[in-house]
Every structure is written in C-alpha cells, then in structure tokens.
C-alpha cells in the first residue's frame, strides 16, 4: 500500500474512532421472531452472492421484518444490474470522501436507522463498509469473524468464505438464540 493511501486510511480510522466515542447504543440480542427491523450491509457482490442476498431478503420477509439493504460497489460506477432493486440501495467509490468516509445521504440515513438486527454480509474487508457497520445504531450486529470490533455476534467462515455459507450460519444461530 502506498504512503498516501496509508495516510488516508489512518485519518479515516481516526475519524471513525472519534465518531464512535459519541455513539451510545444499547445491545440487545434478537432472533428472527423478536426483531421488527433489520439492516443488511454488504460489498462488491458477484452474481451468485447477490442472488443469495436477494433470497435472504425474501427469507426475512417471512418474519414480517422491515428490511433495508445497503451495498458498497468497489468501482466508480454502480452496474446497471444492481440498480432499481426495491429495498436495496448502493453506493460506490464516487460516494466516498478522500479518506474513504461515505458522504452519501442514503448511507447516513442507514447509519442513523435504529435496526433491531444488522446483518453484515461482507466477505471482503473494506474500510467504508466497516465504517457504516461500526456507526450503525442497531441493537444487535451479526457478521463474519474479523478484526472489526463492531459486531456483537461473529461467525467463523474460514472453511467456506462465501455469502451463501455466512447466511446459512446466520440462519442456524439465530434460530437457536432466545428460543
């Protein structure tokens, strides 16, 4: 990584750390039956993982959850195939400031939404997705095990690093929790 990029990342992490100091969030464990609202964040989906995310949205609708999904596309433009999806919003590189902080109004609304559960379906680590997940006011945050400390429940997916497997594991554990 270049020196310039390292400096940008450090400034971004400092900004995130400063914002996290003022974040007050009450952690409460939810399952599919106790939650009323859910947020989903993900990044750079390929065709298979995007299909898995859409199926997960459909699965969540069985529980009458109000769900909003936010995807980060790691390019300067959002591909046509991802646009115009009901309940799924996207942002891309052009929606980031110079130290990789999202500057999109949709992202700020997502961060400020008080979800019962936040599903982080990101397989690759991107600072901007971590930024959104860390600042989310969700009461229960779930995702893959990583260095990001913003999750309340982490799932180890080392044996199968795919969105499909992560979703299967989330379904498994949330069906066990609080029953």
pLDDT, tens digit (0-9, with 9 covering 90-100), for 58-110: 999 999 999 999 999 988 988 877 777 777 899 999 999 888 889 989 999 99
* Residue 148 pLDDT grade (very low, low, confident, very high; cuts 50, 70, 90): low
CATH class of 3-176: alpha beta
What pLDDT shows up at residue 95? 93
Q: Select the more confidently predicted residue: 68 or 149.
A: 68
**pLDDT tens digits for range 19-47:** 878 878 888 999 999 999 999 999 977 87
What does the pLDDT read at residue 66?
Answer: 93
Q: Where are the domains of the chain?
A: 3-176
The pLDDT of residue 132 is 93
Residue tagged 């500057």 (tokens): 103
For residue 179, what pLDDT is reported? 59
Q: Give Cβ neighbours of residue 178 (< 8 Å, ≥ 6 apart).
A: 29, 30, 31, 33, 34
The arithmetic mean of pLDDT across residues 153-174, rounded, is 89
Give the Å distances, CA to CA, from 71 to 2, 75, 93, 107: 26, 12, 12, 10
In the chain, the percentage of residues whose pLDDT exceeds 90 is 42
Name the pLDDT band for 149 (thresholds 50, 70, 90). low
């Amino acid at each position: 990584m270049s020196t310039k990029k390292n400096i940008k990342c450090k400034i971004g992490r400092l900004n995130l750390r400063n914002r996290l100091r003022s974040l007050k969030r009450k952690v409460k464990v939810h399952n599919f039956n106790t939650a009323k609202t859910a947020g989903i964040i993900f990044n750079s989906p390929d065709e298979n993982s995007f299909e898995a995310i859409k199926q997960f949205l459909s699965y969540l609708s069985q529980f009458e959850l109000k769900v909003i999904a936010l995807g980060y596309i790691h390019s300067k433009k959002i591909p046509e195939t991802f646009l115009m999806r009901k309940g799924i919003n996207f942002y891309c590189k052009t929606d980031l400031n110079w130290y990789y902080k999202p500057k999109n109004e949709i992202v700020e609304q997502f961060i400020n939404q008080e979800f019962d559960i936040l599903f982080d379906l990101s397989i690759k680590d991107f600072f901007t997705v971590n930024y959104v997940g860390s600042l989310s006011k969700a009461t229960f945050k779930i995702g893959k095990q990583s260095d990001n400390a913003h999750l309340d429940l982490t799932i180890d997916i080392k044996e199968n690093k795919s969105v499909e497997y992560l979703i299967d594991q989330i379904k498994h554990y949330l069906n066990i929790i609080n029953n």
